Amino acid sequence: MLKAYIVEDEPLAREELKYLLTESNQVEVIGEADCLRNAVKDISKQHPDLVFLDIDLNEDNGLDVAKQLLQLKPIPAIVFATAYDEYALQAFELNALDYILKPFDEERIRKTLEKIIHVGKIGSEEGRFNSSVKKVTSGKIAVLVEDRIVLLENDSIIYLESFEGKCKVKTMYDEYIVSDSLIVLEKKLTNTHFMRVHRSFIVNTDHIIEIHPWFNSTYNVILKDQSKVPVSRTYVKDFKTYVGF
C-alpha cells in the first residue's frame, strides 16, 4: 500500500482528498500539513511514497515546497492538487507525476494512482520513484482538456482553430478541445514556426506542404495531415513574406 502525505490549507479539500485516497484501498494517508515549514519537516521524517501538494498555501507557494522535496532522499512522488491550471508547466518542470484540479473526482484520483503505481519503483537508489515524466522544456505547452492537463510537443502541433469560444488543437497523433482561447495559446507558443494566418487559425509552418491560391488574393494551405486551412486577406502579406513568395 502506498503511503501518502497531503499538503493543503483548506480543511474541507484536505478531508475530501483524504477520503478519496482512503476509499481507493491503495493508499494510507500518513500525514497532513497546511504550510511549507511543517510539510517539509514532517515529510523528511516520515518518508511518504507520494505527496499531494496544493499550489496556494496561505502565504506559501506549493512550487517552493516541491523544490525542497526534490532535495530529500528518497524523493517522494509529487502530485499537484490545486484549483489553478496555469501552473501546470512549472509543475511538470519540477518532475511532478501528475496535476489534478479541484474539485477532486474519484475517477481522476484513480487514474492518478494507476499512473503512480505504473511508473513507481519503490526503494530505488535514485529515489522512491523513477518518474516517466521528464523535465519540460520550452518545446512543450500545457493545455487544459476537461479535467486533466495535457503536455503537447510544439513540433507535433499541426494547427490550432478557434470555434464557439473554445479551441481545437490538431496534432500529428490526436486532436484536443481545450478551454483556452486562441489568443492565450498563441502567447504560449513561443516557437517562431507558429503563425496566425486567419483570425480563427494558427498553423505550424513546418507542416505546410502546399499553398493553393483562392479567391480575392487569399490562399489555402495544405498541411501534412491533408488538412486545409485558409489564409485570410488580413494575414496574406505577412504570410507571403514569411514563406518567401
pLDDT score recorded for residue 121? 41
Could you give the CA distance from residue 165 to residue 178 in angstroms, rounded to a whole number?
10
pLDDT at residue 203 above 50? yes
Question: Which residue blocks in the chain are alpha helix, DSSP H?
Answer: 11-23, 36-46, 62-69, 88-93, 106-119, 182-188, 233-243
pLDDT score recorded for residue 151? 81
Residues 58-82: what's their mean pLDDT?
Answer: 87
Query: 139 Cβ partners below 8 Å, 6+ apart?
Result: 153, 154, 155, 191
HSE-up of residue 18 (Cα within 13 Å, Cβ side) = 15
Burial (Cβ within 10 Å: 0-12, 13-18, ≥19) of residue 89? middle
Tell me the pLDDT of the chain averaged across its residues. Answer: 85
pLDDT at residue 88 above 60? yes
Instruction: For the full predicted model, state whether its pTM sits above 0.75.
Output: no
pLDDT at residue 124 above 70? no
Dump pLDDT digits (tens) for 16-52.
999 999 999 999 999 999 888 889 999 999 999 999 9
141 bridge partner residues:
152
pLDDT score recorded for residue 196? 94
Query: 45 Cβ partners below 8 Å, 6+ apart?
Result: none
H or E element that contains 226: none
Residue 115 grid cell: 499512473
pLDDT at residue 9 above 80? yes
Please give the order of strands across the beta sheet that includes 166-171.
Answer: 175-178, 166-171, 157-163, 201-204, 194-198
Domains annotated for the chain, with CATH where assigned, are 2-119 (3.40.50.2300), 154-243 (2.40.50.1020)
